[in-house]
Amino acid sequence: MENIHPLASVSPEARIGEGCTIGPFCVVEPDVEIGPGCVLESHVVIKSGTRIGSHNHIHEAAVLGAPPQHLRHPGPYGGVQLGSHNVIREHVTIHRALEADAATVVGDHNFLMVNVHIAHDCQVGSQVIMANNVMLGGHVVVGDAAYLGGAAAVHQFCRIGSVAMVGGQAHVNKDVPPFVTVDGLSSLVVGLNLVGLRRRGFSSEQIRQLKEAYRLIFCSGLPWEEMLHQLQLQFPDEPAACFHRFLQQTSRGILHQRRVPRAATIKLPTLPETQKHQRKAG
């Protein structure tokens, strides 16, 4: 038996699973499915075309299934599919897909913190963590177990690989390969996500293989096609083989590595040409 607060507005055409709790001032529109055991705190809005799995906890003022923010697409729109066992915190927004036969998809066991925005046609895997104010543009793909720090912004059509870590306030305008870390200040790759790999049980041998594949990608200086060929030859086994699969599908290219000389303790800024000439004249 579901527990629906008398101040909630739930359409009789919505399908609500057993054991759901719907708080005051929630709005559940027609053509909505909510699986068993879900909890909707107050002021949650679930709009038409949204399908929600079981045992999700959706906090205050989240809006799932709003139309896409797109000026030149009149609809009809697709839907939103949310898996099971997700935590959706306050003011999260997840928008419907542009086309009627498509869906914005979020998997299972994800943790979306306050004010996360997932735009139309995004595909988010499972066990993903997005900190406060993360913004995904349209058609973004996020792999399983990725972590996005606070206020990270991802350009439309970019991909974030599995077990990648994107630092807070990063501006991601190209693909982020799996298993790497992106520095939030520079928005560049700074190495493997070693902490995340160890926490997820990757063995020492697997991490060694990933390090070698990483060096081939970012440090070998090989042309792109030759680098892909060598990746496929040298690393046919998982998880390192994931690099080749991911990179050969990129359409936007990948973020570059940040290079800092090993001996440098303080990275001095490059002077503009006018200041260089002034120093020489002085």
Query: Which one is catalytic: 53, 83, 125, 138?
Result: 138
For 184-237, the pLDDT digits (tens) are 999 999 999 999 999 999 999 999 999 999 999 999 999 999 999 999 999 999
Q: What is the pLDDT of residue 73?
A: 85
Q: Assess whether the previous peptide bond of 76 is cis (omega < 30° from 0).
A: yes
Catalytic site includes residue 57? no
**What type of residue sits at position 41?**
E
Query: Which one is catalytic: 79, 91, 108, 121?
Result: 121
Cα–Cα dist 68/132, whole Å = 21
Query: Which one is catalytic: 59, 91, 120, 139?
Result: 120
C-alpha of 264 from chain center: 33
Rounded mean pLDDT of the chain? 93
Cβ-proximal residues to 22 (8 Å cutoff; 6+ apart), any chain: 2, 3, 4, 5, 8, 10, 16, 28, 40, 44
Contact 10, 4 (CB under 8 A): yes
Catalytic site includes residue 120? yes
Q: Which two tokens stand for residue 239?
A: 């998880």
- Whose CA is closest to 133, among 143, 118, 155, 144? 118
Q: Read off the pTM.
A: 0.91
CA-derived radius of gyration, the chain: 22
Cα–Cα dist 180/238, whole Å = 16
Instruction: Kindly indicate the confidence band of residue 273, based on its pLDDT and cuts at 50, 70 and 90.
Output: low
3.30.70, 2.30.30, 3.40.50, 1.20.1180: CATH of 204-261: 1.20.1180
Catalytic site includes residue 49? no
pLDDT(275) > 90: no
Question: In the chain, where are the structural domains located?
Answer: 3-199, 204-261
> Can 3-199 and 204-261 be said to share one CATH topology?
no
Cβ-proximal residues to 192 (8 Å cutoff; 6+ apart), any chain: 179, 180, 181, 207, 210, 211, 214
Q: What is the pLDDT of residue 11?
A: 98
Instruction: Kindly indicate the confidence band of residue 272, based on its pLDDT and cuts at 50, 70 and 90.
Output: low
CATH topology of domain 3-199: UDP N-Acetylglucosamine Acyltransferase; domain 1 (2.160.10)
